[in-house]
Structure 1
Amino acid sequence: MGKNIDKDRQNKTVLFDALKNHLSNRVVRFDVPGHKGGRGNKEFRDFIGLDAMQMDVNSMKPLDNLCHPTSVIKEAQDIAAEAFGAKEAYFMVSGTTGAVQAMIMATCKAGDKIIIPRNVHRSAINAMVICGAIPVYINPGLNKKLGISLGMSINDVKKAIHENPDAKAILVNNPTYYGICSDLKSIVKLAHENNMLVLVDEAHGAHFSFDDNLPISGMAAGADMAAISMHKTGGSLTQSSILLSGERINADYVRQIINLTQTTSSSYLLMTSLDVARKNLAINGKELFEKTVKFAEYARNEINKLGGYYAYGKELIDGDSVYDFDTTKLSVYTKDIGLAGIEVYDILRDDYEIQIEFGDLGNILAIISAGDRGLEIERLISSLAEIKRLYSKDSTGMFDHEYINPDVVLPPQKAFYSEKEMVPIKESAGKISGEFVMAYPPGIPILAPGERITEEIINYIEYAKEKGCLLTGTEDMHVEKINVVLE
């Protein structure tokens, strides 16, 4: 948590309180939204509740305005900045996608280079499509057995800085979807010595600021900006996130950048959920995440006793591309029982009514939090045991890796907006992709605009489709064809 925390201040929920006060005044509604506190949409009101519908209000003087906050939203953001150890905090109602895009667009203009790991979320490459920044990709390490990409090696970062001294920023995933963390403090030191900013995609690390036994947070490591998915592990509503910035960043310029793409009709349900979730983390976070780690460690140990599965943890740490590991993550390798992660994901949902976060070609990820119950953890473990008993088979011939080094030919913006033609994916080898192909979740592109399509990539896409992965990104909704750059 941020230094010099004022617990009395962190107990406040100024935005939430202002909204409750506004509702208690029973103000007559002649503004939007048109459902008028739920009276105009009774079926939905009866389903989600009257309180939720009445909280769905528009910006007004007593409730401030997210586009230009000067009162209760400003104070709520300032309290959040203190909780996370940042100079500034910005409430985001466009998710961490919007926060990642704002980081890149606030630090890079058209033609500027940004050093970036290739296993980024699509939002980072989308930002480059929009603003025209040029990616300098660092290929992450690969754990060949698990088929997962790792963090950024310090030597690779040094090499990228040496070869691109004009780069404006370095973006780091902290942690990856699977819980892998890079040596963030060393990356920050290197970047700042070379007049570069550090941007942290901390979508899966909102909890890092509130328990010293977890990996270091972006702000604590000295990063310049960090995008935090409060809705993932912080307890707020889906689509609500926080963008943080430090001393080197012009906060008012960042707000201008956010306002280029974020809605002017910001949801008070989302914003007040951020306000209350921040209070809960600041006051109860250490206790909550200690409980989370206990659940995850118990599950990890029990799943490993089953045989066939491998729930991995801190033993992966090597001091470099796996500098640390987020022990709240329950990542499980499944291929040794002859099933792709996506197959286990489907069986858990369809046969056992258990919804986990995602499955890829070799792993599953279950998100654990203090909101879970012991009986549910046991149910997951016993279901995995039964799946192994009923469905396991010989793993020979299964796809043996997850990450493919890209051949980047054109900048993302140039490729995306170029003249293109649509061709069958099976016949696209050798051509330059004009769009994305990715499995969602996690939303890390298999192909991004500007990259050369290879037989290896085509085989990967076909195998992912065969196993039941949800592929997205192409204009063709069936993902049978792909737009390629006319050369």
Structure 2
Amino acid sequence: MEKLSQESAPIYEALEKFRKMRVVPFDVPGHKRGRGNPELERLLGDRCMNLDVNSMKPLDNLCHPVSVIRQAEELAAEAFHAAHAFLMVGGTTSSVQSMILSVAKRGEKIILPRNVHRSVLTAMVLCGAVPVYVNPQCSNRLGIPLGMSVADVERVIRENPDAKAVLVNNPTYYGVCSDIQSIVKLAHDNGMYCLADEAHGTHFYFSDKLPVSAMDAGADMAAVSMHKSGGSLTQSSLLLIGPNMPEGHVRQIINLTQTTSGSYLLMSSLDISRRNLALRGRETFEKVIELAEYARKEINEIPGFYAFSKEIINKDSVYDFDVTKLSIHTLETGLAGIEVYDLLRDEYDIQIEFGDFGNILAYLSIGDRKRDIERLVSSLSEVARRFGKTKVDLIEQEYIPPQVAVSPQEAFYAEKESKTLRDAIGFICSEFVMCYPPGIPILAPGERVTKEIIEHIEYAKEKGCTITGPEDAEINYLNVLKGV
């Protein structure tokens, strides 16, 4: 069999060949190449609608790929230094959930930092695994959780020798990296898997000026958000595995929850984006790094803003830093991050990725231009001048150590009752509460509600954070375990 080349895009090429055949469709989707939904066709265009097709022999099947999808997976594995890669059409949430479900069953432990994405904990609701937290160290100045200290991971492994896996954020939303190579070795030396939530680290595979990637560090599985910094369509993702993970077992796990109607628009976008990164990724991300460094230099000349970078590295809880992450501390302006986020959107038509209590994140990737950076810098300068005020005592600590009382699954499915936020103090929460983005829970099912957590939620509401998770959309009530 002829060796595949990174210059090819098997799914895209098969779709182009199929499009030219002018096949008459008596299958799904029901819009029949757009004819049945002219308004949608006007929105998306006839080319897009013609490529929104169902699985068939010439186009392979995502659940059991044997031809073009299989080839696209093999090319992705090669590009991302993995033993195998799975194309995921349920977002990186689906990739993360498949990682957890592949290594742990009900009652089994996974060691992880508390500042994980909600998908990690929703997976535990599904499979019944139990989280064992390594409390991340925090930056008091920046008010953000950092990475996991290797010494802390070693201690928790020693206390929980029966754990099945250790999960690492590589990197965090803010760009902070733990020492993933040392953590992988610790996990493997103790008979555990090492999993990486690499949602924000796609670009690590295409530059030696960025932190080490999970696969190069020896991790067993990594969930990679191609749509974030890799350029594919929203909701498309990759799940990478190392040589110690059985491909067939992981495929079975993925097929428990992933659709049997995989979108060829999403899959072809993964295919084309992988080709783009494999051929041009190194030079592209070189430019992204240059843009980020230029932006950081300019922003740090604006009084009150601090765009932090590698100077926060301490070789422990901040082992390395992703310089493409333009994270900006705002509190010296007297403004919370979420307030700057709102001002940039409402006054200057600039959409930032997220704002928390003390920081904003401008997400830079392959599509950014210098003139857009300049517009961001000038707008931040105006925000500081027009809206800045004397620094006030805002909540600076983003991380509140959780009190885990029962497993996420047990709490989620337990008999529950609704209580006002203040009345819920002392009870065990049965639902998620999180600011989105980044989607890191303030509260997760099974955790004890404390006064500090309620104050955190009230402050987030007051500052205009988008809070999701609870059954009560107004976030005035919480569901808690009945009588507990």
TM-score normalised by L of structure 1: 0.98
Aligned to 1:213: 209
Aligned to 1:474: 470
Aligned to 1:98: 94
Structure 1, unaligned stretches of length 5 or more? 1-5
SS of the equivalent of 2:332 reads: helix
Aligned to 2:191: 195
- 1:161-310 mapped onto 2 (5 Å cutoff): 161-310=157-306
> Matched residues in 2 for 1:306 and 1:472: separation?
33
Kindly state the Cα deviation for residue 296 of structure 1 after the two structures are TM-superposed.
0.5
Kindly state the Cα deviation for residue 105 of structure 1 after the two structures are TM-superposed.
0.2
Residues 114-158 of structure 1 show CA distances to partners (whole Å, capped at 9, x for unaligned) of 001100000000000000001111111100111110001000000
Q: Letter of the aligned partner of 1:326 in structure 2?
A: D
Kindly state the Cα deviation for residue 8 of structure 1 after the two structures are TM-superposed.
7.0
Q: Letter of the aligned partner of 2:231 in structure 1?
A: G
Kindly state the Cα deviation for residue 397 of structure 1 after the two structures are TM-superposed.
2.4
Matching of residue 118 in structure 1 with residue 114 in structure 2: yes
Kindly state the Cα deviation for residue 44 of structure 1 after the two structures are TM-superposed.
1.6
Q: Letter of the aligned partner of 1:198 in structure 2?
A: C
Kindly state the Cα deviation for residue 43 of structure 1 after the two structures are TM-superposed.
1.2
> Matched residues in 1 for 2:391 and 2:279: separation?
47
> Matched residues in 1 for 2:349 and 2:367: separation?
18
Q: Match for 1:157 among 140, 153, 159?
A: 153
Determine if contact 2:33/2:50 at 8 Å carries over to the other structure.
yes
Residues 78-108 of structure 1 show CA distances to partners (whole Å, capped at 9, x for unaligned) of 1100100000100000000000000000000
Matching of residue 386 in structure 1 with residue 382 in structure 2: yes
Matching of residue 453 in structure 1 with residue 453 in structure 2: no
> Matched residues in 1 for 2:114 and 2:232: separation?
29
Matching of residue 16 in structure 1 with residue 2 in structure 2: no
SS of the equivalent of 1:110 reads: coil
Determine if contact 1:316/1:322 at 8 Å carries over to the other structure.
yes
- 1:416-431 mapped onto 2 (5 Å cutoff): 416-431=412-427
Aligned to 2:395: 399
Aligned to 1:3: none
Matching of residue 83 in structure 1 with residue 71 in structure 2: no
Determine if contact 1:7/1:283 at 8 Å carries over to the other structure.
no
Kindly state the Cα deviation for residue 370 of structure 1 after the two structures are TM-superposed.
3.0
> Matched residues in 2 for 1:71 and 1:31: separation?
21
Aligned to 1:462: 458
Aligned to 1:410: 406
Aligned to 1:34: 30
Aligned to 2:143: 147
Determine if contact 2:229/2:366 at 8 Å carries over to the other structure.
no
Q: Letter of the aligned partner of 1:107 in structure 2?
A: V
Q: Match for 1:318 among 314, 329, 339?
A: 314
Determine if contact 2:4/2:75 at 8 Å carries over to the other structure.
no
> Matched residues in 1 for 2:197 and 2:15: separation?
31
1:8–1:76 distance in 2 versus 1, CA, 3 Å: closer
Q: Letter of the aligned partner of 2:86 in structure 1?
A: Y
> Matched residues in 2 for 1:79 and 1:385: separation?
45
Aligned to 2:125: 129
> Matched residues in 2 for 1:327 and 1:281: separation?
18
**% of aligned pairs identical?**
62
Determine if contact 1:11/1:279 at 8 Å carries over to the other structure.
yes
Residues 385-418 of structure 1 show CA distances to partners (whole Å, capped at 9, x for unaligned) of 0000010112222112111011111111111111
Residues 228-265 of structure 1 show CA distances to partners (whole Å, capped at 9, x for unaligned) of 00000001000000000011101111111011111111
Kindly state the Cα deviation for residue 61 of structure 1 after the two structures are TM-superposed.
0.4
> Matched residues in 1 for 2:299 and 2:393: separation?
24
Matching of residue 372 in structure 1 with residue 371 in structure 2: no
The aligned length equals 482
SS of the equivalent of 2:5 reads: helix
Q: Letter of the aligned partner of 2:248 in structure 1?
A: D
Residues 407-461 of structure 1 show CA distances to partners (whole Å, capped at 9, x for unaligned) of 1111111111111000011221111101110000000000001111111110110
Aligned to 1:43: 39
SS of the equivalent of 1:91 reads: strand
> Matched residues in 2 for 1:445 and 1:419: separation?
21
Q: Match for 2:481 among 462, 478, 485?
A: 485
SS of the equivalent of 1:111 reads: coil
> Matched residues in 1 for 2:408 and 2:134: separation?
16
Residues 301-342 of structure 1 show CA distances to partners (whole Å, capped at 9, x for unaligned) of 100011210000000100011000001000000011011111
Determine if contact 1:94/1:239 at 8 Å carries over to the other structure.
yes
Aligned to 1:355: 351
Kindly state the Cα deviation for residue 41 of structure 1 after the two structures are TM-superposed.
1.1
TM-score normalised by L of structure 2: 0.99
Determine if contact 1:117/1:138 at 8 Å carries over to the other structure.
yes
Residues 21-62 of structure 1 show CA distances to partners (whole Å, capped at 9, x for unaligned) of 011100001111111111111112112211111110000000
Q: Letter of the aligned partner of 2:466 in structure 1?
A: L
> Matched residues in 1 for 2:371 and 2:283: separation?
20
Residues 258-297 of structure 1 show CA distances to partners (whole Å, capped at 9, x for unaligned) of 1111111110000000000000000100011000001110
SS of the equivalent of 1:306 reads: coil
Determine if contact 2:404/2:447 at 8 Å carries over to the other structure.
yes
Determine if contact 2:230/2:366 at 8 Å carries over to the other structure.
no
Determine if contact 1:439/1:469 at 8 Å carries over to the other structure.
yes
> Matched residues in 2 for 1:462 and 1:7: separation?
58
Kindly state the Cα deviation for residue 7 of structure 1 after the two structures are TM-superposed.
10
Q: Match for 1:328 among 292, 301, 324?
A: 324
